[in-house]
Structure formats: structure tokens, C-alpha cells
Amino acid sequence: METEKIIYLTAHALGIDPKGVSARTRLYEDLGADSLAVCRIVVETEELFDVALDMDRFTSDASVGDLVEAVLEARNLE
């Protein structure tokens, strides 16, 4: 469930079709996101799932799956 929500959120933030996004899709390289777009995606994800995420985790090779994993880890820490 988290994966589908994050895929939709990511696609919406970047103005692309969610059908072209999967957990393995890399934010920067595959989707062409810049650091500002990734920051916005992370902030929106934090708000959607009511968690705090470490921005440093989302470097140039980060994927949508990494974002899902970070949400799941943050929920387990609460």
C-alpha cells in the first residue's frame, strides 16, 4: 500500500504517468528529478505518512523503493 501511494505521489510531483514508475525507478537518473523535486517528494511523503525522514538518505542513486523503505523504517522506530 505504501509503495502505490509513494509511486502516485512521486509521479504527481514530477508531472508524469504513474504507470512508468516502480519501486526500482531511480528518482534522479530514471525520472530526471533534481534535488528540489526530490526534497518536495520527501516532504510530501513525510506529511502523507506522518513520519520524519533523513534527506541525506536520498542521494543521486536513490529509488522510489528507498523512499518506501525509509517510511517503513521510520514507522518501526515510533
Single out the catalytic residue among 17, 34, 56, 66: 34
Please state the φ and ψ torsions of residue 50, each to the nearest 5 degrees. 55, 55
Q: Is 17 labeled as catalytic in the residue annotation?
A: no
Cell representation of residue 51: 513520519
Q: How far apart are CA 77 and CA 41, in angstroms?
A: 21
Q: How large is the angle between the packed helices 2-14 and 35-49, nearest 10 degrees?
A: 140
Q: How far apart are CA 40 and CA 8, in angstroms?
A: 14
Instruction: Just list the catalytic residues.
Output: 34
